[in-house]
Amino acid sequence: MRSGAKPGRRLRRYAITAIAIVAAVIVVGRITGVLVDWLWFASIGYSGVFWTLFSAKALLFAAVFAVSACALGLSGLLAHRYARGVTILPAEAARPSGATEFTGDLVELAELVAPRIRWRFSIACAAVVLGLMIAASEISNWDVALRFIYQVPVGERDPIFERDIGFYLFSLPAYLALKSWLLWLIFWSAIVAGAVYGLRGDIALERPPLTLSRAAITHGSALLGLCFAVKAWSWWLERFLLLYGDNGVVVGASYTDVHVELPVLWMLVGLAAASAVALWINMRRRSYLQPAVLVLLVFGSSFVFAVLYPSLFQRFYVKPSELRLETPYIAHTIALTREAYGLAKIEVKPFEAEQGLTLDSLQANRATIDNIRLWDVQPLLDTYAQLQEIRTYYKFLSVDIDRYQLDSGYRQVMLSARELDPAMLPSNAQTWVNLHLIFTHGIGVVMSPVTEKSTEGLPSFYLRDIPPVSNGGPVIREPRLYFGESGQDYVIVNGNVAEFDFPKGADNAYTTYSGRDGVAIGSAARRTLFAWQLDDPNILLSGYITDQSRILLHRNIQDRIRTLAPFLSLDHDPYVVASNGRLFWIQDAYTVSRWFPYSRPGFGNGANYIRNAVKVVVDAYNGTVDFYVSDPADPLLRTYERAFPGVFKPLDAMPPALRQHIRYPEDLFLIQAQLYRAYHMDVPEVFYNREDLWQFPRELVGMDGEGAATTMPPYYTIMRLPGDARAEFILMLPMVPSQRENMIAWLAARCDSPGYGKLVVYTFPKDKLVYGPFQIEARIQQNTEISQQISLWNQMGSRVIRGHLVVVPIENSILYVSPLYLRAASGQLPELKRVIAAYGDRVVMEDTLAEALAALFKETAQAASPPQGTVDARAREALAHYDRAIERLKAGDWSGFGAELDALRPLLEALGAGQSAAQK
């Protein structure tokens, strides 16, 4: 007997030891993770953020665990205390034949097993394990808890319950999370109690009829009463959830919701509360029929009155008179959706779309013409890769579009950071020392103007080579990028091995990091800690690490920002900026919510509110991160400012040289434009009928000159908005009517001060045809000269790439420009070979933009020239000035072009006066 027991005891000891080891590893991993995070947060000056995040998660976990474990343990212990192992029939009814023997067997089994089981210990263990599981599942609500604690009022009220919008943004999510947790807690309490009663024999399910003891009925009535009490509160909360419904016409509370659902929910609140009281009374009566009847009554009523009845009411009463009944609620949807997405602040202006563009107009809008973008992102990225990556381990990951005040004027440029890609090292060179100690950083950026090209069709460079050489661009004195967009692993700096800096002829240049970032890793304890946490024993064993060594973590800038501020959502496109001789990354960050009432979900996981509340600046060398407030009125950001004091700085605190490079983010603009297609209609009747629905235009982009029809993306450009005195950097997108291709409006977001952040929509007259991008694409395709040239190139071993069509508003006219690239069939170096320009009914294709504009408007001038019989010496002189002006325009000599136009004007005026006198 003993020899047989020893293997069992030994097996139990092994199992307990294995469980203890696994638990210890998990605990140690958690502790080391927290310690490494604290060291990193402290190293960059954000230890306060770490403690706020840590304490929020820890306190929420501890509170949920303590309450859950106590409630579960109490439920189990009460079941153990009052379970007697004696079963009774329902309502004291007589047992059928055989029931007594069955019950007796259960009792005997319980009497044999119970002494051998440590009931209290087992219940406590179960309560602790389930409590840990519940607490772990609730820890993700730390952000909800923080927003609830530090919430601020919004100052606006919803139209149905007239509560401050802050209640919906901050309080309602917390109440719903609390309600969900309570329901789960009651459910698991019932499971624990049921398990105890079942093991003790107080519940028998094996044979009909169901056998329950008095204690089980009492306990079940108490828990079910608590469930109904929480359910009553849940239905009270569901009144507010009506403001997030969607019946296809109204987003938010509709006519049916207000007139049917709302009264029904009040009825269910009362019914659930009364049922809870009845169940608590049943704790003395101990009837199992009453709980069953109440469950059927409450949930049956919920189905009939909250599901079936509203559906019938909507179908047979509301639908036949939908517009009349839903009009006020459609108005709520329009107003609050516009508010949630910032659409209410869009300024609407008329745009006449005239055909009055002349050479004088081009001269007056030189800043716009000089910045028409001819280089698309992908062809330029391919070209950069071929010309400027220099070595295989460098990589251009993206091309950014920005503007700089240069010696040549206010210029729109495209630039890209040259980042290090260690995966591109030869396989035999991908050693631990190379990956983590020697190859540590990228270097420099390349920059080129958006319009210029060389005679070979390659981009001109303002910045190029390694180290960066400036040719009209900003000077860069610190070109090293230790932090960037790539998925960068950790590196260790200040060891006793020099870092590779850049290739230099037959040799290499080396450097030592002197920036601010990094966690000290010189001590044995620190090295052991990071070796454990990063699962890399080389950190502990390497002889290259000294007492002065530091480890650089979170080098991907988006990972870095998300770790510091996990409550912010990030734009997909951080962009690099050269300022004061250094390189910085600017990242747009958003505050988002899905709890704005009456607002249509438009992005993400059902989110229906967004603000570009923060501009984040990351130093590419030092790794410092600064958060600047770009929307101080945002209630979510004001809440986070209270929760994380000292983290956010006013936008005016951003260095002026960097502030000149902030721009309206493309992700936000796309979301707003998508919603504005319908929500520019602010009259409920028009909105209901979709009379003026807009859509994004199509364009042809792609290979072989034909291209594939794609949706036109928004694009940055420098232009002078109608009525303004100077050109500015904007983000714009044309709009066309639904199911049509003609252009009806264009939306612009201003990026420069003092108008930064303002949205303007320019609407065209509805009685005038304005060609849309896809119609211009069709005219290009139908142009025999252009199509023949494209076909010829495609037959000569080359591939023609159609670039994006750019819509260029100039004064009250619309100009269209599209680049044409040529690439060898087996090559990867696209060349900008032609520029297509269109205006009105005319389409031309020339080698350069200047030549295309000259050809386009020379035809315009010839079409408007006077009859041959009226030409005299002054006309010939005027024509000579005009021809010289065209030559200057083709050469890019704008000052000479302007001088010739100045000389041309008095001659034309004299000719006009002479013609008027002759007619008289």
DSSP for 491-525 reads EEESSSSPEEEEEETTEEEEE---SS--EE--SHH
Torsion, CA 201, CA 207, CA 210, CA 212, rounded to 10: -10
Identify which of 602, 730, 672 has the alpha carbon closest to the alpha carbon of residue 342: 672
DSSP 168: I
What CA–CA distance (Å, rounded) separates 487 from 480?
17
Identify which of 257, 263, 230, 231 has the alpha carbon closest to the alpha carbon of residue 244: 257
User: What is the Cα gyration radius of the chain?
Assistant: 37
pLDDT at residue 360, rounded to an integer: 81
pLDDT at 355 over 90: no
pLDDT at residue 189, rounded to an integer: 95
Greater pLDDT, 859 or 98: 859
Residues whose CB falls within 8 Å of the CB of residue 565, separated by 6 or more in sequence, listed in order: 49, 589, 614, 616, 627, 647
Identify which of 347, 185, 184, 336 has the alpha carbon closest to the alpha carbon of residue 250: 336
- Backbone CA torsion sign across 46, 51, 52, 54: positive
CB-side neighbour CA atoms (13 Å) of 114:
17
What CA–CA distance (Å, rounded) separates 456 from 465?
19
What CA–CA distance (Å, rounded) separates 535 from 276?
54
Query: What is the mean predicted confidence (pLDDT) over 885-913?
Result: 68
SS3 248: coil
SS3 728: strand
Query: What is the mean predicted confidence (pLDDT) over 720-746?
Result: 93
pLDDT at residue 910, rounded to an integer: 63
What CA–CA distance (Å, rounded) separates 91 from 214?
9
What residue segments make up the domains of the chain, in order of their start?
A: 1-36, 49-212, 214-340, 343-370+667-853, 389-481+488-555, 569-662, 865-920
Query: What is the mean predicted confidence (pLDDT) over 778-790?
Result: 90
Distance separating the N- and C-terminal Cα atoms of the chain: 135
Assign 514 a pLDDT band (cuts: 50, 70, 90).
Answer: very high
pLDDT tens per residue across span 870-896: 445 656 667 777 777 777 766 666 667
Identify which of 426, 475, 417 has the alpha carbon closest to the alpha carbon of residue 444: 417
Neighbours of 698 (CB within 10 A): 19
Assign 15 a pLDDT band (cuts: 50, 70, 90).
Answer: low
Distances (CA, A) of 773 to 180, 742, 746, 764, 779: 51, 8, 12, 15, 10
pLDDT at residue 287, rounded to an integer: 83
pLDDT at residue 214, rounded to an integer: 87
Assign 912 a pLDDT band (cuts: 50, 70, 90).
Answer: low
Residues whose CB falls within 8 Å of the CB of residue 899, separated by 6 or more in sequence, listed in order: 888
Distances (CA, A) of 314 to 160, 238, 253, 334, 684: 19, 19, 13, 21, 19
What CA–CA distance (Å, rounded) separates 611 from 814?
32
Assign 487 a pLDDT band (cuts: 50, 70, 90).
Answer: confident
Token pair 């055989």 in the structure block, residue: 98
Cβ atoms of 372 and 806 within 8 Å: the answer is yes
Assign 13 a pLDDT band (cuts: 50, 70, 90).
Answer: confident
What HEC string does 756-797 produce?
Answer: CCCEEEEECCCCCCCCCHHHHHHHHHHCHHHHHHHHHHHCCC
What CA–CA distance (Å, rounded) separates 545 from 552?
13
Identify which of 844, 863, 839 has the alpha carbon closest to the alpha carbon of residue 855: 844
pLDDT tens per residue across span 573-629: 999 999 999 999 999 999 999 999 999 998 888 999 999 999 999 999 999 999 999
In the chain, % of residues over pLDDT 90: 69
DSSP 157: B
pLDDT at 915 over 60: no
pLDDT at residue 621, rounded to an integer: 97
pLDDT at residue 705, rounded to an integer: 59
| The two three-digit tokens of residue 668, written as one number | 């936000």
As separate numbers, helices (DSSP H) first and strands (DSSP E) second, the chain gives: 29, 34
Element (H, E) at 222: helix 214-241
pLDDT at residue 76, rounded to an integer: 92
Burial class (CB in 10 A: 0-12, 13-18, 19+), 834: buried
**Phi, psi (degrees; rounded to nearest 5) at 756:** -55, 135
Distances (CA, A) of 285 to 143, 217, 278, 429: 45, 9, 10, 81
Token pair 């807009």 in the structure block, residue: 694
Any idea how long the chain is?
Answer: 920
Task: List Cβ<8 Å contacts ≥24 apart for 525-532.
Answer: 529/32, 529/35, 529/36, 530/36, 532/28, 532/32
Assign 95 a pLDDT band (cuts: 50, 70, 90).
Answer: very low
Task: List Cβ<8 Å contacts ≥24 apart for 510-515.
Answer: 511/480, 513/440, 513/482, 513/550, 515/482, 515/619, 515/621, 515/622, 515/623
| The two three-digit tokens of residue 214, written as one number | 């008095």
DSSP 207: S
pLDDT tens per residue across span 394-414: 999 999 999 999 998 999 999
What CA–CA distance (Å, rounded) separates 847 from 834?
5
| The two three-digit tokens of residue 113, written as one number | 């097993």
pLDDT at residue 274, rounded to an integer: 96
DSSP string, 321-377: GHHHHHHHHHHHHHHHHHHHTTGGGPEEEE----S---HHHHHHTHHHHTT-----H
What CA–CA distance (Å, rounded) separates 474 from 881?
38
Assign 92 a pLDDT band (cuts: 50, 70, 90).
Answer: very low
pLDDT at 862 over 60: no
Greater pLDDT, 100 or 359: 359
pLDDT tens per residue across span 379-395: 999 999 999 998 989 99
What CA–CA distance (Å, rounded) separates 807 from 439?
44
What CA–CA distance (Å, rounded) separates 698 from 125?
63
| The two three-digit tokens of residue 369, written as one number | 């013409």
DSSP 820: E
Residues whose CB falls within 8 Å of the CB of residue 352, separated by 6 or more in sequence, listed in order: 764, 765, 812
pLDDT tens per residue across span 163-218: 999 999 999 999 999 999 999 999 999 999 999 888 888 877 666 666 788 888 99
Distances (CA, A) of 431 to 435, 436, 549: 6, 9, 19
For the chain, give the mean pLDDT. 88
Cis peptide before 632 (omega within 30 of 0): no
pLDDT at 16 over 80: no
Identify which of 730, 762, 759 has the alpha carbon closest to the alpha carbon of residue 744: 762
pLDDT at residue 105, rounded to an integer: 52
| The two three-digit tokens of residue 745, written as one number | 């409006």
pLDDT tens per residue across span 67-87: 999 999 999 999 888 876 544
Query: What is the mean predicted confidence (pLDDT) over 524-550?
Result: 94
pLDDT tens per residue across span 265-290: 999 999 999 999 999 999 888 887 88
Specify the pairing of strand 569-570 against strand 582-593: antiparallel
| The two three-digit tokens of residue 425, written as one number | 């090292």
pLDDT at residue 859, rounded to an integer: 53
Query: What is the mean predicted confidence (pLDDT) over 425-432?
Result: 91
CB-side neighbour CA atoms (13 Å) of 375:
30
| The two three-digit tokens of residue 655, written as one number | 């260095």
What CA–CA distance (Å, rounded) separates 133 from 141?
14
* Lowest-confidence region among 103-112, 314-323, 511-520, 548-557: 103-112
pLDDT at residue 874, rounded to an integer: 59
pLDDT at 766 over 90: no
* Lowest-confidence region among 4-8, 403-407, 570-574, 812-816: 4-8
Query: What is the mean predicted confidence (pLDDT) over 791-813?
Result: 88
SS3 829: coil
What CA–CA distance (Å, rounded) separates 638 from 632?
7
Residues whose CB falls within 8 Å of the CB of residue 467, separated by 6 or more in sequence, listed in order: 443, 444, 476, 479, 502
What CA–CA distance (Å, rounded) separates 684 from 251?
13
DSSP 600: -
What CA–CA distance (Å, rounded) separates 780 from 371?
22
Torsion, CA 544, CA 549, CA 555, CA 559, rounded to 10: 110
Neighbours of 263 (CB within 10 A): 11
Residues whose CB falls within 8 Å of the CB of residue 844, separated by 6 or more in sequence, listed in order: 836, 837, 838, 852, 855, 856, 859
Residues whose CB falls within 8 Å of the CB of residue 690, separated by 6 or more in sequence, listed in order: 678, 681, 738
pLDDT at 511 over 90: yes
